[in-house]
Every structure is written in structure tokens, then in C-alpha cells.
């Protein structure tokens, strides 16, 4: 009895078609996300708050960079990450929705660069907690983005230690 081996590509295509057929038969969309047409107001508010805080943190880093240029290499990538977070949320929101103002995360620490870094670290930790709370409050399809932002803020705080 001869065993017939199927090329890998044929097996993968057949498996993919079987999964897609099962998903379609069950009413599940395998080919695209099942996201709502519009974002509900509570999600919109939470997302705007996280985006606004990202922009506020970026401004704090701008201030810190201008006050301590010797720390620019350390602070610039974190500032840029906050801007990218706000942009990512902006892409998730309706184009007519702008970020909401966030609690101030001003980098006004005393004691030179060390105090400034401690103030940024405290702001990052507080912002990470608020993003974690927002992650639990938004719809499941927004949670990965907000959760990633919360994790990034926590890692920023550690990077500043």
C-alpha cells in the first residue's frame, strides 16, 4: 500500500478553506473583524482620554528635553511613542473626534535631571494605571490597543528608573 504525500501548500490551502467554511457556516466572520459601524460614546470618551493623556505626556517630554538636552537620547523615543499612541487611537476613532484634554503630566520635578526623570516616572505610572482602567472599560475590540498603551507606559516608567 503506497502512502500518498500531499504538498505542504495543498494541505495549508485545504485547511484554510475548511476553517473559513466552518466560520461562515457558524455566522462568524473569518475574513474580517466584527467591529461596529460606530464607536459607542463610552468607548469614545475612554479612547479620547487615553489619547489626550498620550499627547499630554508627549508635551511633558518636549519640556523635559528642552530643559535637559543631555537626556534627549533617552527621552525622545518615549516621547515619540506617546505621539504614536495618540495617532493609533485617532485612527480607531471617527475622524471628527479629537482627543480630550487629559490630567496634567507636567514634568516639573525639582533637582535637575534626576528630579525631572522622577516626575516623568511618576506621571508614566499614573498614566499606566488610568490606561489599564480604560482597557477594562472599553469594548473588547479596543482593549488590545489600550492594553498595549498601558503596558508601554509601565515600561516607560521602568526605563526612566
The structural domain count of the chain equals: 1
- Report if residue 61 sits inside a domain: yes
CB-CB neighbours of 42 under 10 Å:
11
Please give, one letter per residue, the 3-state secondary structure of 87-111.
HHHHHHCCCCCCCCCCCCCCCCCCC
> Does any domain span residue 5?
no
Smallest CA-to-CA distance from 149 within 39, 64, 72, 58 is with: 58
Residue 15 within a domain: no
Q: Which of 143, 152, 139 has the alpha carbon at shortest distance from 85?
A: 152
* Each residue's pLDDT tens digit, 88-112: 998 888 654 455 555 544 555 556 7
pTM higher than 0.95 = no
Q: Is 32 inside any structural domain? A: no
Query: Does residue 26 sit within a domain?
Result: no
Asked, for residue 96, whether it belongs to a domain, the answer is: yes
Q: Does a structural domain hold residue 79?
A: yes
Domain at 152, CATH number: 1.20.1260.10
Report yes or no on 135 lying in a domain. yes
Range of the domain at 69: 39-159
Segment 9-24, tens digit of pLDDT: 444 444 444 444 444 4
Q: What is the DSSP letter of 3?
A: P
Q: How far is CA 121 from CA 107, 147, 160, in A?
A: 9, 19, 6
Amino acid at each position: 500500500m503506497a502512502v500518498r504525500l500531499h504538498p505542504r501548500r495543498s494541505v495549508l490551502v485545504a485547511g484554510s478553506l475548511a476553517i473559513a467554511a466552518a466560520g461562515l457556516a457558524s455566522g462568524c466572520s473569518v475574513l474580517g473583524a466584527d467591529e461596529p459601524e460606530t464607536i459607542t460614546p463610552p468607548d469614545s470618551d475612554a479612547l479620547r482620554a487615553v489619547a489626550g493623556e498620550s499627547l499630554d505626556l508627549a508635551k511633558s517630554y518636549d519640556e523635559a528635553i528642552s530643559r535637559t538636552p543631555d537626556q534627549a537620547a533617552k527621552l525622545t523615543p518615549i516621547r515619540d511613542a506617546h505621539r504614536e499612541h495618540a495617532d493609533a487611537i485617532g485612527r480607531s476613532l471617527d475622524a471628527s473626534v479629537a482627543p480630550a484634554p487629559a490630567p496634567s503630566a507636567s514634568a516639573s520635578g525639582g533637582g535637575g535631571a534626576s528630579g525631572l526623570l522622577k516626575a516623568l516616572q511618576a506621571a508614566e505610572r499614573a498614566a499606566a494605571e488610568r490606561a489599564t482602567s480604560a482597557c477594562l472599560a472599553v469594548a473588547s475590540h479596543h482593549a488590545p490597543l489600550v492594553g498595549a498603551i498601558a503596558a508601554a507606559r509601565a515600561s516607560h516608567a521602568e526605563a526612566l528608573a
